[in-house]
Copies of this chain bind each other. A is one copy, B any other.
């Protein structure tokens, strides 16, 4: 089993900060909901059923050629901090973390994909790519889906498609989502209107940590709500099209800010950097809000000597469970706020910051 401590210091695929439009698009994610035909749906399962499903799927998926670097994490055996750690890393859902009984997740070494077992469905396969790369994510997940299907018979209906525990997932069982960083649309107060228009075309908008999570750090995840009646490529095309539109809006908002208030913008991002480097105690919320400004500042060339992968990583590493894993001990909120400040300082001040980019 993979040691979570080893994962903690690393940076998963989706935080690499590369890929197309990675100044705005953090990651592209596709997940497939699948159930195996030889077991009842989760809702009907006894504890013994769950254990059988987990054992059976682990054995079968363990035999897939090329999965030698895939580790299995037994989520049921983890304490709350460790489960929270996996949620922060987006390797498992909040639902899997909070569930009971036999359950786990297969994670590949590069954290490019994860396969949850015994979440709402028997299998939830997800692929995360850095930047806007839904096509790449689709190719990968399509392959994974085939590899798994070769070992397990899916519950599939000729007319309906893949059968799932919740009717909203029936059909393709697919959720396509793109995580965007849109601080300029927030600053110029245009975001509300943009998001309302997304609801009208049946796209869901969520924060960094899924349904119900606030859009902290100006991160917004858009995804399809409909899984039935459209093909996989249609669903991907729709989300990709909207993502490209949002990228365009965000870029225009950034240009507007640069052209109409560069000094104020520079002041805002520079102070955010200053506070992150000097705070002695800082909450997760404030950290995300300031990192959001810094992230935009780096992308606009207003802050130098910090790189986007570092900033991306700090968003995750300063989350409560990550902080505790990185420091190797459980910490109460007040102590976490102190450790978070130290961690930020250590990672932002590695190189001296040139603070006069336009003093000429």
Contacts and interface: CB of A to CB of B under 8 A. Distances in A.
A353 to B, nearest CB: 8
A294 to B, nearest CB: 11
A338 B271 CA distance: 13
Nearest to A349: B355
A264 B283 CA distance: 13
Interface stretch (A159-167, A246-254, A272-280): A272-280
Contacts of A280: 263, 266-267, 270-271
Given A338-B263, A352-B352, A359-B342, A270 B274 contact: no
Contacts of A278: 270-271, 273-275, 277, 355
A275 B277 contact: no
Contacts of A275: 271, 274-275, 278
Contacts of A341: 267
Interface in A275-294: 275, 277-282
A345 interface: yes
| Category for how many chain A residues contact B | 20 to 34
Interface in A257-271: 263-264, 266-267, 270-271
A342 B355 CA distance: 9
Contacts of A352: 352
Contacts of A274: 271, 274-275, 277-279
A339 to B, nearest CB: 11
Contact of A279 (B267, B281, B342, B356): B267
Contacts of A342: 356, 359
Nearest to A272: B278
Contacts of A356: 342, 345
Interface string A324-360: 0000000000100010011001000100100110010
Nearest to A335: B263
Interface string A145-182: 00000000000000000000000000000000000000
A343 to B, nearest CB: 11
Name the residue among A270, A280, A349, A355 with the largest chain B CB count within 10 angstroms: A280
Nearest to A276: B274
A355 B279 CA distance: 9
Contact of A267 (B266, B277, B281, B355): B281
Contacts of A270: 278-280
29 contacts: A263-B280, A263-B281, A263-B338, A264-B281, A266-B280, A267-B279, A267-B280, A267-B281, A267-B282, A267-B341, A270-B279, A270-B280, A271-B274, A271-B275, A271-B278, A271-B279, A271-B280, A273-B278, A274-B277, A274-B279, A275-B275, A275-B278, A277-B278, A277-B355, A278-B355, A342-B356, A345-B355, A345-B356, A349-B355
| CB-based closest 5 A-B pairs | A274-B278, A274-B274, A267-B280, A270-B278, A266-B280
